[in-house]
Chain A
Amino acid sequence: MKNKNVQYVTPSGLKVEGPTGLNKPRSQYTPFNFVNGLVFVVVCLVILVPIWKVLIDSLDLTTGYGVKLVPTKFGLAGYATIFSNPSLLRPLWVSVYTTVAGTFLGLALSTMGAYVLIQWDMPFRTLFANILLFTMIFSGGMIPSYLVMRRIGLTDNPLGPILLPAINVYNLVLMRNFFESIPKSLFESADLDGCTPMGAFFRIALPLSKAALASIGLMFAVAYWNDYTNFKLYITDRNLYNFQMKLRDMIQSSDLPEVAGGATENTIRNACIIVAILPFMLLYPFLQKYFVKGINIGAVKE
């Protein structure tokens, strides 16, 4: 049979001629699409089941669970214990204030550093950039860092885990990439109108990079909230532990607070995990685009 040419329209609206039959609209319910969908159902389950198991165990007042995906004996005693016990509330508070203080300090240092690095004609600009970049490829190492921190009194001091991570060259470079995309002419005209560098920083650079501030601020906040290494290295005083440190202690040993209201040790352990992930799990659906943006400006930049 002779092939008859017909006109058909491609998904993007292009009209082309071609033999019949080759490009008839395909059904969406092909075996491939079915299997592909199934793959992602499985992938999502693999990720969610461990988290779900922790969540239901945190709401279950019995210990012998086996394979169960709903609580046997529902109760909020695990959470009540956390929020009534000073040995758990204190670490939670440490986490909150180090995260808030660290995020602001980190953003301040990153934006100021980045703003200086986009002054192309400034003498010593390249030197400054190289001073920062060298720290990305070489470091003194864990022990020399520890000795310096001890020498300047930042061990067993909550300022240690706040100040140290605040200077993050990677985030500073991301911020610089953002600032670079602001048209130069804006800064030039501000300069002509008598605006000082600081003025241009607050009136032009920062207001035009709200999205960048949100993503880099979130990166800092997540890093501070999740910080374990810096606390492990520089804090030995249990009164200064953050929540991650406390959680780790509770999982490793039976260093558990007094159990209240019928909760078992297991209930409290699981409830602590949920409290540790709760802030970002709640924020995440609304701020996903900012979370994701950070990695894209870093990697896919031209």
Chain B
Amino acid sequence: MASVVSNGALRHEKKPLGMRMRKYWGFYLMFIPVLAFVAVFHYAPMFGIRYAFYSWKVVGDPKWVGLANFEKLFKQSQFSVAFANTIVFSVVKLLLNTGLAVVISLLLNEMISLKFKKVSQTVIYLPHFMSWVVTASVFSLILSPSESGLVNQALIKLGLIDEPVYYLADKGWWRVWYYIINVWRETGWQTIIFMAMLTSIDPGIYEAASIDGAGRWKKMWYVTFPALGNTIITVLILNLAKIMNLFESVFVLQNDSVKRATNVLQTYVYYQTFNSGASADYGYTTAIGLFRSLVGLALMLICNYASKKVRGRGIV
């Protein structure tokens, strides 16, 4: 700034702020609606974070309690279960989805019939457009222990089980199916980014490899796979930054018998606030939300740093 002021020539080049702003007045006008929406829906809630230090029952006024909400929080076993679940569900899901997406992309890339390749791609992208409610509805009908449940009936017919199992009401099975359903819905969609990378590999590299006597497996292992390396890391970093957002996929698959064991932070906040009647405390659940946002922020910053190291640019 000092050099600008002391240097007469420079000052003449850069017009005064007011004049430059006047030139752009139309753009400022265009930005007002965007700013208004962000202010109301994103920044106004940030001011509500102060309630994390209050006790605010559904009826009555907020009352200052200092750090009492956080003391309560860290003593609750339900909270630690939810926190652990958030991390475990997200990480396992992320590794499964990414790993399988890489395998499927490599296999798709080797497909001879272009027509069948296209059809396969169309089919595997499809479930991504179904809402989580629809996905959960489809699977709760198919996994139903009643005689219309496809999975149970098929397993009984094959003689693998004698009695129908209520998969989504059993803690252990619920987790297994949660991962299966996530793979069913998201893995195909994740292949898009890997396929885009694969089609950008220079065919000359494959030719050179063939000339050197590399077969299909060697080409896959030494040419294709390394080319994906950076993309895989990028995908992992981008998604790791968002793991604290987990909500809807868990919420729609839950039912009363597995709720406690399968809660993640966001579903815990929801039930504590909206499903516990008059004992609900906005202050306490805001405190959980604040904890979640801070962990999310930390993850974001770590991933941003990692992203800058690995690929030379941040994620936001």
Contact surface of A with B, Cβ cutoff 8 Å? 10-12, 14, 16, 18, 22-23, 28, 32-33, 36-37, 39-40, 43-44, 46-51, 53-54, 57, 63-67, 108-109, 112-113, 115-116, 119, 121-124, 128, 131-133, 135-148, 152, 163-164, 166-167, 169, 172, 196-198, 201, 222, 225-229, 232-233, 244-245, 247-248, 251-252, 266, 269-270, 272-273, 276-277, 280-281, 284-285, 288, 291-292, 295-296, 299-300
List chain A residues, Cβ under 8 A from B21: 123-124
B160 at the interface (CB under 8 A from A): no
- Give Cα A54–Cα B149 distance, bound, in whole angstroms: 11
List chain B residues, Cβ under 8 A from A23: 210-211
Say whether A142 contacts B289, CB under 8 Å: yes
Say whether A40 contacts B141, CB under 8 Å: no
Chain A to chain B contacts (Cβ below 8 Å), 6 pairs: A43-B124, A141-B269, A144-B49, A147-B45, A226-B130, A276-B130
- Give Cα A46–Cα B211 distance, bound, in whole angstroms: 39
Say whether B48 contacts A143, CB under 8 Å: yes
What 6 A-B pairs are tightest by C-beta distance, nearest first?
A: A141-B289, A144-B48, A140-B45, A226-B131, A197-B26, A167-B37
Say whether A32 contacts B216, CB under 8 Å: yes
B111 at the interface (CB under 8 A from A): yes
| Nearest B-chain residue to A69, judged by Cβ | B150
Say whether A276 contacts B41, CB under 8 Å: no
List chain A residues, Cβ under 8 A from B176: none
Q: Mark B88-110, 1 if CB is under 8 A from A, else 0.
A: 00000000000000001001101
User: Which range contains the number of B residues in contact with the other chain?
Assistant: 35 or more
List chain A residues, Cβ under 8 A from B193: 295-296, 299-300
Number of A-B contacts (CB under 8 A): 287
Interface segment out of the listed B1-9, B71-79, B295-303: B295-303
List chain B residues, Cβ under 8 A from A291: 125, 129
User: When the two chains form the complex, which single residue of B45, B197, B297 contacts A148, counting CB atoms closer than 8 Å?
Assistant: B45
The winner among B27, B251, B282 for most chain A CB atoms within 10 A is: B27
- Give Cα A139–Cα B44 distance, bound, in whole angstroms: 10
| Nearest A-chain residue to B106, judged by Cβ | A36
- Give Cα A86–Cα B204 distance, bound, in whole angstroms: 62
Say whether B38 contacts A143, CB under 8 Å: no
List chain A residues, Cβ under 8 A from B38: 131-132, 135, 167, 169
Say whether B137 contacts A251, CB under 8 Å: yes
B112 at the interface (CB under 8 A from A): yes
- Nearest CB on A from B1, distance (A): 14
User: When the two chains form the complex, which single residue of A167, A198, A273 contacts B30, counting CB atoms closer than 8 Å?
Assistant: A198
Say whether A244 contacts B282, CB under 8 Å: no
| Nearest A-chain residue to B181, judged by Cβ | A50
- Give Cα A132–Cα B150 distance, bound, in whole angstroms: 47
List chain B residues, Cβ under 8 A from A115: 27, 30
Say whether A288 contacts B122, CB under 8 Å: yes
| Nearest A-chain residue to B274, judged by Cβ | A233
List chain B residues, Cβ under 8 A from A222: 129
User: When the two chains form the complex, which single residue of B43, B124, B150 contacts A53, counting CB atoms closer than 8 Å?
Assistant: B150
List chain A residues, Cβ under 8 A from B300: 136-138
Q: Mark B175-191, 1 if CB is under 8 A from A, else 0.
A: 00000000010001100
